[in-house]
Amino acid sequence: MEGAAAAAAVVVVAAVAAERAVHGVTGLGGLGVGWRPEIAAWVADRPGLGFTEVIAEGLAPATPSRGVTELRERAAAVVVHGVRLNLGGVEPVEAARVSHLAACAAVLDSPLVSEHVSFVRANGHDAGHLLPLPRTREALDVLAANVARTRSELDAPLALEPIAALFDWPEDEFGEGEFLTRLLDRTGAWLLLDVANVHANARNRGVDPQAVLDSFPLDRVAYVHVAGGSEHDGDRGDAPGTYHDTHTDPVPAPVLELLGSVVDRLGYAPPVMLERDGRYPSGAELTGELAAIATASGLAPDVAR
Amino acid sequence: MLALTAGGPVPDGFDPVRMAVTRRALLRKRAGLAAVRWPVLRASHGERWNAVFAAHHDGRPSRGALADGFDVARALAADGALTSGALAELADHEALWHYDGSGEPRRRSAWSPHRLRHRLLRPRAR
């Protein structure tokens, strides 16, 4: 009796029977993971992965580490993800950083490069973190110019990731979805949709994440990030109930539900990856997280093996 | 930017609570980066590391993870508040790096008197 009940209790989050889709432009498909040296062995042992993503600032393209070389030798694609390019900075993006990004993509034969709708440095001060931009026409001009400078050196297409923003600017002219749509229309870039960021931003503003997704240019999705986070209570000196997109916690259910909602809206399962930056759990737990992502996408869990 | 990293005032129109949350999140991230360069110092403080780090660095811009950790370790050493493990870690870093507290740390040459003396005097396991 128990066995039958367990077999019947399959949670189908995606209402549409999701096909494992391959992106028409990038060729990316399936489940992926953010490669980190700390989990290199676990990643190497996942034959079912469709792709991996590496952080550009952690790479030395001329002398890649053994773990990175092994990634290149796999059949699965490797996406290069930058975190310090400063596309939203008033100063033009630094030529050396753009060249580095291009070199990483060349060495790894990447079908796609991604960066953030954000700034990290201003007036000689480094935030050490991705900070939100004002959603203004002026910011669109800045971003468009820097994206153009970056794309001129890249062979691969570029995807842009909207970030989890802990604050807003008083002079915002657009909502997040409209700003993003205008940005992608102007630049021709793709969307790296981070559903954990959508959750964090909606949660911290008390808005409905479904309304946010309604406004997003989902037709531009190149791939999807999924990550964990946690709420900080008032005792730790923060505003009570602020959700932090830490990347060092398990992926919470609401984020997986948002992923399912995205799959429903698209009618297919886009390339989707797990992003984890620290406090790494056991390999079994990471595999479990991947399986949960597969389930939420409507894919068979064995693609996470 | 100054409000978030260097103790500057919150500009008009920004939610002060949200800015404070962001400022503390940035500090926690800095503490995590410093912990990578100063693992024993970090471990010796356990759950209190973020608070200890913030007490030293809130309102002051970062000079990098190594320098941030140096500042905390030296201040605590002066107060006699370091464990023996953290003291040994500080001694190792002082031998390897020249850091005057205002610029960025510079690696000492292998033949510098500091490094030679440290190698000679460091207690060896028997």
Say what the pLDDT of residue A233 is: 60
Q: Tell me whether residues B62 and A128 touch, CB distance under 8 A.
A: yes
Q: Is the pLDDT of residue B88 over 60?
A: yes
**CA–CA separation, A289 and A274 (whole Å):** 8
Report the DSSP pairing between strands A119-122 and A125-131. antiparallel
The answer for B 26-85 residues in CB contact with A (under 8 A) is: 26, 29-30, 32-33, 61-62
Number of H helices, E strands in chain B: 7, 2
**CA–CA separation, B65 and B57 (whole Å):** 11
Say what the pLDDT of residue A69 is: 87
Q: Does B18 touch chain A (CB under 8 A)?
A: yes
Say what the pLDDT of residue B45 is: 95
Say what the pLDDT of residue A3 is: 47
Tokens linked to A131: 């900070």
Q: Does A253 touch chain B (CB under 8 A)?
A: no
**CA–CA separation, B108 and A235 (whole Å):** 43
| Residue A96 DSSP code | H
Scan for tokens 């990290």, then name that residue.
A120
- Which comes out higher in pLDDT, residue B97 or B4? B97
How many Å lie between the alpha carbon of A123 and the closest alpha carbon of chain B? Answer: 8
Mean pLDDT of B105-115: 87
Residue A290 near residue A252, CB atoms below 8 Å? no
**What does the pLDDT profile of chain A (305 residues) look like in tens digits?**
444 443 333 333 333 334 557 887 788 999 999 999 999 999 999 988 999 999 999 999 988 888 888 888 887 899 999 999 999 999 999 999 999 999 999 999 999 999 999 999 998 888 889 999 999 999 999 999 999 999 999 999 999 999 999 999 999 999 999 999 999 999 999 999 999 999 999 999 999 999 999 999 999 999 999 999 998 765 455 556 799 999 999 999 999 999 999 999 999 999 999 999 989 999 999 999 999 999 999 887 766 66
Say what the pLDDT of residue A14 is: 38
CB pairs < 8 Å spanning A and B:
55
| A283-286 contacts, C-beta under 8 A, 24 or more apart | A283/A39, A283/A42, A283/A45, A285/A250, A286/A33, A286/A39, A286/A42
Produce one character per residue of A173-193: b if its CB has 16 or more CB atoms within 10 Å, e if not.
ebebbebbbbbbeebebbbbb
pTM, two decimals, is 0.88
- Which comes out higher in pLDDT, residue A173 or B126? A173
Tokens linked to A181: 């749509």
Instruction: Select from B2, B6, B29 the Cβ nearest to the Cβ of A129.
Output: B29
Q: Does A264 touch chain B (CB under 8 A)?
A: no
The answer for A 75-134 residues in CB contact with B (under 8 A) is: 122-123, 125-129, 131
**CA–CA separation, A124 and A62 (whole Å):** 29
Backbone torsions φ then ψ of A8, nearest 5 degrees: -80, -20
